[in-house]
Amino acid sequence: MLEDFQVLAIPTKTNFRGINLREVVIFHGPFGYSEFSPFVEYSKNESKNWMRAAIEAAYKPKPELRKSKVKINATLPKVDLDKVKNILDLYPGAKTIKIKVDSFVEDAKLVSKALEYAPSAQIRLDVNGGWDLQRARENIEKFDQEFSSHIEYYEQPCAELSELKKLKEITKSKIAADESIRKNLDFKFEELSEYVDIAILKWQPVGGFNAACELAEKIKLPVVISSALETGIGVGLGLHLAASIGTELACGLGTVGLLEADIVNEPLEIIDGEIAVISRTPNQEQIAKYRASEERWLWWKKRVEEVLGSGDFDEYFN
């Protein structure tokens, strides 16, 4: 792996969770290309699952597909209202829009603008655990009152599982868990239906194909597969996961449009709100264009070595 990896630095089109430059590692194994791309601030321990996923995809057979295409949702970051159309144009045919929000007061206009663009769209509001129970109750009541027929679910409205459980008891709105799953992988997921209605899984953060499929089986809730702002290599593997689980819900796997450019030969083209599930390979011209500096290459090499040295990954190579 260390002999065959590239470090890329790709600018983003918008400020996405504070990121203007996405750094990733791309490498190749006997079962295809893979990506290792934990965010730079993540600790060595938090990056282990990302490494397990990356190695498994390159060195182990992938699960059997149940479908050849995956429905995707549009992803709308917090942007100026005049940029909403440009962002949503990146997702032709998508019938669901995921919007990052902080509060009703700050973001109701953003939701309204998205619905001006797509009046029949279903809306997913992603809070990233930003509300306590009281704020969640207040904001959900206001969003529901204004947009009730369009809200599909609220994603991670509270950070704490205990608050999610109480929130589920007092609201009829559907609640989805993201961080509560990937940051609590020792949780008894057979009980998750007491806390939320929908589970969001990400290929790298949960540890790869096998780990995600096992989680989905334990959780027994509708599943949405989402990306972690990966390149077409990583998103392509997320698409494979979604198609192997066979989820019918739109997935958050159309995010390469948030990067300045993708780096694969086989574009993740969105047609009628779907992306085809195929094997994807790096385009060498794009690899050369977005190759990171020598300093960043050395930083990532050290990080890869530290993560590999911090756990037992032999089973993935043997």
Please tell me the distance from the alpha carbon of residue 207 to that of residue 235, in angstroms, as a whole number. 15
Q: Any idea which residue has 């009703």 for tokens?
A: 104
- Give residues with Cβ within 8 angstroms of 156, minimum separation 6: 126, 127, 128, 129, 176, 177, 178, 179, 180, 200
Nearest to 47 by CA among 205, 226, 210, 250: 205
What are 34's two structure tokens?
Answer: 């893979």
Strand-pair category, 96-100 with 19-29: unpaired
Catalytic residue among 100, 142, 188, 218: 100
100 part of the active site: yes
| DSSP structure class, residue 293 | P
- 109 noted as active-site residue: no
C-alpha of 149 from chain center: 25
Give the closest residue to 201 by CA, choosing from 191, 216, 188.
Answer: 216
**Catalytic residue of the set 48, 71, 98, 202:** 202
Q: Do residues 225 and 203 lie in contact, with contact meaning Cβ atoms separated by under 8 Å?
A: yes
Contact residues for 165 (Cβ-Cβ < 8 A; gap 6+): 194, 195
Q: What is the set of active-site residues?
A: 100, 202
